[in-house]
């Protein structure tokens, strides 16, 4: 009922124009590289070209499907038919060029570029239904199975890039439709870069190895990070790891409906700061996950959002010591009435490979 939910929040004379691939997918349940979704209080229409028309007719159930012709004229006719005078657009996603073209082609209409549509869409997408949760759990299970298989090949002399490539292959082998993002597998000094790129560097004894990875299943993502020790870690490495583990657990323990995203971030950040590593935790604690790998809510030191029941959010604090090593531990959780449910089943004890 995604389209119906959006339509119910529009005024009688408003229409929502959805052009972005991500929002089209979410609201129609149909993936395509082409399409125009027009949501109106009385009726919604999905317009797409001949490549997708037949499939869309079967897959899209909440909107009438039209074969694309002169799309601007088709939208104009629909607006006229339903007495809509104001068009809400995806201000966060629409380019200035697209907006200029639509204004030129529909000069008599008012275009609302206030973020109203983005706010509505983000709010609806943030709350996951049971089917979405099942898809994300499936993605997580695939990713974990792949990681467990990968760990058998981690040893000194193996290149970071080879580990990343193998993990992506294994996720697909075990049922993923694709990967959530380019896999991060960085070791030693490279692990001090939160979004480091796997390269030709060989794993060495005494390295930390951080792997940030996710699987895509039926358009839904997973997102997990674990840091491993290759060979015996130093006392400093263990101390940093344990600090991050405690901070991450504090964040998990804090997750429940109604908390501020700022306070979720603070729950993790305070422990890292109290241990003397505050300046080495530069990114936000977490973000929502769904049909996009990064979506609302966002938990960071400047967040103003509230964490709501049935949202999915990551908890991923880290410490990164430039030129030395870094540690990040990340779980993806569903916010439940009395706390959270963790999608992840991997241990957070320091694993020595």
- Over pLDDT 90: what percentage of the chain? 100
What ranges in the chain are assigned the alpha helix state H? 2-7, 21-28, 53-59, 71-81, 96-105, 116-126, 130-150, 160-173, 235-254, 261-274
What pLDDT score was predicted for residue 80?
A: 97
Domain with CATH 3.90.230.10 in the chain: 130-342
Question: How sure is the predictor about 107, in pLDDT bands with cuts at 50, 70 and 90?
Answer: very high
Enumerate residues 6+ apart whose C-beta is below 8 A from 113: 89, 91, 99
Residues of the chain with CATH 3.40.350.10: 2-126
Residue 15 to residues 19, 34, 40, 173, Cα–Cα distance (Å):
13, 19, 5, 43
Distance in angstroms (rounded) separating the CA atoms of residues 64 and 205 = 60
How far is it, in rounded angstroms, from Cα 195 to Cα 326?
11
Are the C-beta atoms of 352 and 231 separated by less than 8 Å? Answer: yes
- Cα 162 from Cα 178, distance rounded (Å): 18
| Per-residue model confidence as pLDDT tens digits over 25-75 | 999 999 999 999 999 999 999 999 999 999 999 999 999 999 999 999 999
Backbone angles phi, psi at 339, to 5 degrees: 155, -110
pTM of the model: 0.96
**What gap in Å lies between CA 205 and CA 188, rounded to an integer?**
9
Q: Residue 190: its pLDDT value, please?
A: 98
pLDDT, tens digit (0-9, with 9 covering 90-100), for 189-245: 999 999 999 999 999 999 999 999 999 999 999 999 999 999 999 999 999 999 999
C-alpha distances in Å from residue 224, one per residue of 80, 147, 157, 204, 353 = 48, 10, 25, 23, 19
Give the mean pLDDT of the chain: 98
Q: Given this model, what pLDDT does residue 139 score?
A: 98
User: Distance between CA atoms of 326 and 243, rounded to whole angstroms?
Assistant: 12
Residue 317: predicted pLDDT: 98
Q: Is 258 helix (H, G, I), strand (E, B) or coil?
A: coil
State the DSSP string of 6-27. HHTTS-TTEEEEE--HHHHHHH
Q: In the CATH scheme, what is the code of domain 130-342?
A: 3.90.230.10
List the 286-288 sheet strands across, edge first: 295-299, 286-288, 312-315, 331-336, 339-342
Q: Is the pLDDT of residue 285 over 90?
A: yes
In this predicted structure, what is the pLDDT of residue 1?
77
Q: How many residues does the chain have?
A: 353
**Contact predicate 17/89, CB 8 Å:** yes
CA 225 to chain centre: 14
| CATH topology for the 2-126 domain | Creatine Amidinohydrolase; Chain A, domain 1 (3.40.350)
In angstroms, rounded to a whole number, what is the distance separating the alpha carbons of residues 201 and 118? 42
Pairing of the two strands 86-89 and 110-112 = parallel
Mean of pLDDT values over 164-193: 98
Which of 120, 67, 54, 48 has the alpha carbon at shortest distance from 89? 120
């Amino acid at each position: 009922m995604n389209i119906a939910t959006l339509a119910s929040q529009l005024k009688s004379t408003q229409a929502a124009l959805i052009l972005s691939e991500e929002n089209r997918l979410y609201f129609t349940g149909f993936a395509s590289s082409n399409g125009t979704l027009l949501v109106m209080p009385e009726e919604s229409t999905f317009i797409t070209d001949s490549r997708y028309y037949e499939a869309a007719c079967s897959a899209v159930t909440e909107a009438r499907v039209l074969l694309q012709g002169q799309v601007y004229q088709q939208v104009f006719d629909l607006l006229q038919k339903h007495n809509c005078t104001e068009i809400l657009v995806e201000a966060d996603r629409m380019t200035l060029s697209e907006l200029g073209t639509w204004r030129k082609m529909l000069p008599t209409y008012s275009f609302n570029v206030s973020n109203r549509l983005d706010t509505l869409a983000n709010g609806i997408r943030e709350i996951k239904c049971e089917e979405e949760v099942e898809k994300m759990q499936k993605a997580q299970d695939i990713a974990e199975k792949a990681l467990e298989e990968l760990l058998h090949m981690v040893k000194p002399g193996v290149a970071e890039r080879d580990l990343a490539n193998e993990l992506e292959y294994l996720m697909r082998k075990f049922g993923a439709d694709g990967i959530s993002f380019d896999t991060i597998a960085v070791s030693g000094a490279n692990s001090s870069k939160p979004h480091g790129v796997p390269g030709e560097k060989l794993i060495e004894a005494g390295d930390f190895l951080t792997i940030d990875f996710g699987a895509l299943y039926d358009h839904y993502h997973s997102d997990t990070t674990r840091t491993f020790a290759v060979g015996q870690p130093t006392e400093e490495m263990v101390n940093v790891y344990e600090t991050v583990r405690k901070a991450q657990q504090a964040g998990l323990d804090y997750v429940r409906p109604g908390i501020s995203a700022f306070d979720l971030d603070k729950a993790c950040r305070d422990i890292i700061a109290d241990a003397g590593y505050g300046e080495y935790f530069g990114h936000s604690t977490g973000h929502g996950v769904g049909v996009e790998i990064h979506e609302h809510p966002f938990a960071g030191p400047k967040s103003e959002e509230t964490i709501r029941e049935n949202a999915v959010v990551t908890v991923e604090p880290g410490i990164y010591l430039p030129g030395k090593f870094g540690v990040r531990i990340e779980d993806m959780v569903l916010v439940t009435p009395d706390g959270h449910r963790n999608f992840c089943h991997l241990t957070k004890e320091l694993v020595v490979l």
